[in-house]
A and B are shown apart, each in its own frame.
Chain A
Amino acid sequence: MKTFRLTTNAFKGLGKNKMRSFLMMLGIIIGIAMLSVILSITQGANKKIMVRINNFGPNAIMVHSGGGKMRGPSSVSEANLTQQDLHDISSLEGVKIVAPFQLEPGMPIKYQDQFTTTTVVGAMPNWAEAWRRGVSRGEFIQTDDVELLRKVCVIGETVKKELFANSNPIGKELLIGKVKFKIQGILQKRGAGPGGGDFDNLIVIPFSTASRRLMNQPKYIAMMRVIVDDPSHLKSISQQISRTLRSNHHLASDEEDDFRLRSSTQIVKMIKGVSNTLHIFLLLIAGISLVVGGIVIMNIMLISVSERKKEIGIRKAVGARSKDILLQFVLESLAITLTGGILGFIVGIFGVKIMEMISSTPAVISWETLALAFGFSFIVGIVFSVQPARKAARLDPVEALR
């Protein structure tokens, strides 16, 4: 009851000196606004990463032909994975699916008088399961299609839109390079691919057709997508794949890999590496402005303790204990920082909304951000008021009333 009364009095006190209260709040408002903006943007970025990981597949490992640094997918021209590799990886423990595929980016496509270029993928029927992506209409590549080297294809939404607009493409024939293919299905829409590109701009054809009739790569496989049973085994299975491939390819211990493995953990590392440094830097600035805001509050409170000596003396004379005075000053500081924190959060939300509008930065405003804003305001309010509050509490009543 007593504490409650002191609390309401602390908030009432804010209104008695509006200008001073506002100036004391300013630092906190700016600090919390920045903190809210940064947290919202970080969470927005994290959400984007999660979407990408999900598209990539949290339990997938991509095996690329050719060594070197991270770059886009490997095309058939650099294919060096063998049927033996495929067999050995398939028999590793914990491996659920291995989907080999050929890939050639930027192939010319023609339908009547419409042209476009797209990535052509030569896939086995298990490609659909490995990417958790079937057809939205028609049917996917079948075992027969692969065995009989059929010239059929399944097209992505982007290709469909560019060549056929709104008409139904199933059953129609298009040209990939100079070879005619019959469209038998449309791939489910997926949006951004693992690399961030348009994952609907592609055509899938049977693996064998791609190897022998279109891309002239009968021996080697360009890429494989490996799906594991349990995402927590990604790392150990990656290592086993690496060992298998190195031994199959007769690489000496001082030779570099002639293949690349990618999994979601690496993608996360890659994306986060860039944004994290920036976010940490911005958080640091927000932290500094909170500390500066706290110091401003402490200074003004120290001055106001001398200014309010009489009041402290009166309160003590009518029965306030030292701890009541201490509590009063801490509560007044909290009233300022918490009000400032809420205002700062509101300003931050406005900032985030404006940024979303002008730069389409994805942002997520969450309860966690509000809780953190509140938490930081609370901590600043306590930490920087203790010293002035103790000074006030220690005043001798007779001295204070003189």
Chain B
Amino acid sequence: MNFIIQAKDITKTYSKNGSITVKALQDVSVDIEKGEFTAIMGASGSGKSTLMNILGCLARPTSGEYFLDGENVNHLSDDDLAKIRNRKIGFVFQQFHLLPRTDALENVELPLLYSDRSDISKLAQQALEIVGLADRIHYQPAELSGGQQQRVAIARALVNNPEIILADEPTGNLDSRAGLEVISVFQRLHAEGKTVILVTHSPEIAEHADRIIRIRDGKITGDERVQSPLNAREELQNFPEETEVTP
């Protein structure tokens, strides 16, 4: 088996006011194969975001071991974790998290600023083409619709050609049509061989993945294969046609 993610007995505790400790994750073990499309599903407060932060090397587990692409990242320095985030991971957030007053191209270039690449505008342009925004390169976030903003964010996650795309409720702030469009982009990336991890509370969205890991109160309560994942592109064709409203 070629596991890209191997997390063993991950526990994460937060201390509140110094004394009370809250267990956000308790002995969570997850293995994810290269090229899988996995949904991590749970209600809010279930610990799914904490798990995503740890898998994305944004936070460190309190205990347990985490191997990313065969490398134990527990003992890496902050700078090395930053390097891993830069090269191996692309994040997509619920609130898009684009830089304001900065056009789409510059937003997508951001990860490349911290890499050694030199052809940054060309790569950023290609990434925007992949998400179908080649004609909006110089639009600022405020001039784009929610779905378009999220696609810019996906282009930013893609631009460094990472192994893993981590998306935290990427459709949470979008209407259903824009949400489906975003999901269809993930499905296409998955089809091209990317490992995609989608964190969501919505069962309909989770049904688009190959595998659903259920999490509740910081523990894994279920891990199943999806026999026939929904196809977002087909759904879009059946979706009543409507023009996208730009805010």
Contacts and interface: CB of A to CB of B under 8 A. Distances in A.
Interface in B87-126: 87, 91, 93, 97-99, 101-102, 110-111, 113-116, 118, 120
B113 A6 contact: yes
Interface residues of B, number: 28
A3 to B, nearest CB: 11
A319 B86 contact: yes
B142 interface: no
A314 B97 contact: yes
A10 to B, nearest CB: 12
A317 B55 CA distance: 12
A165 interface: no
Contact of B78 (A16, A310, A314, A321): A321
Given A317-B91, A322-B79, A16 B101 contact: yes
A2 interface: yes
Given A1-B118, A398-B53, A401-B97, A317 B113 contact: no
Nearest to B59: A398
A132 interface: no
B233 interface: no
A178 B222 CA distance: 128
Contact of A311 (B91, B99, B160): B99
Contact of B82 (A5, A311, A319): A319
Interface size on A, as a range, is: 20 to 34
B111 A318 contact: yes
A321 B116 contact: no
Contacts of A323: 79
B231 to A, nearest CB: 30
Contacts of B43: none
B83 interface: yes
**How would you classify the secondary structure of chain A's contact residues: helix, strand, loop or mixed?**
helix
Scoring B58, B82, B83, B118 by chain A CB atoms within 10 A of each residue's CB, the highest score goes to B82
B24 to A, nearest CB: 11
B113 A5 contact: yes
Contacts of A311: 99
Contacts of B118: 1
Interface string A314-331: 111111111110000000
Contacts of A17: 101
B173 to A, nearest CB: 15
Nearest to B82: A321
A206 interface: no
B124 to A, nearest CB: 12
B136 interface: no
A104 to B, nearest CB: 80
Contacts of B102: 16
A7 to B, nearest CB: 11
Given A310-B97, A397-B58, A401-B93, A318 B114 contact: yes
A5 B111 CA distance: 12
B156 interface: yes
Contacts of B160: 318-319
A9 interface: yes
B79 A319 contact: no
Given A5-B113, A6-B113, A324-B114, A319 B97 contact: no
Contact of B87 (A6, A319, A322): A319
Contacts of A16: 101-102
Given A6-B113, A314-B99, A314-B110, A321 B79 contact: yes
B85 interface: yes
Interface in A308-367: 310-311, 313-324
B122 to A, nearest CB: 14
Contacts of B120: 5
A319 B85 contact: yes
Pairs of residues from A and B, 5 with the lowest C-beta to C-beta distance, nearest first: A319-B86, A318-B111, A319-B114, A321-B82, A321-B79
6 contacts: A318-B110, A319-B86, A320-B114, A321-B79, A397-B59, A401-B93
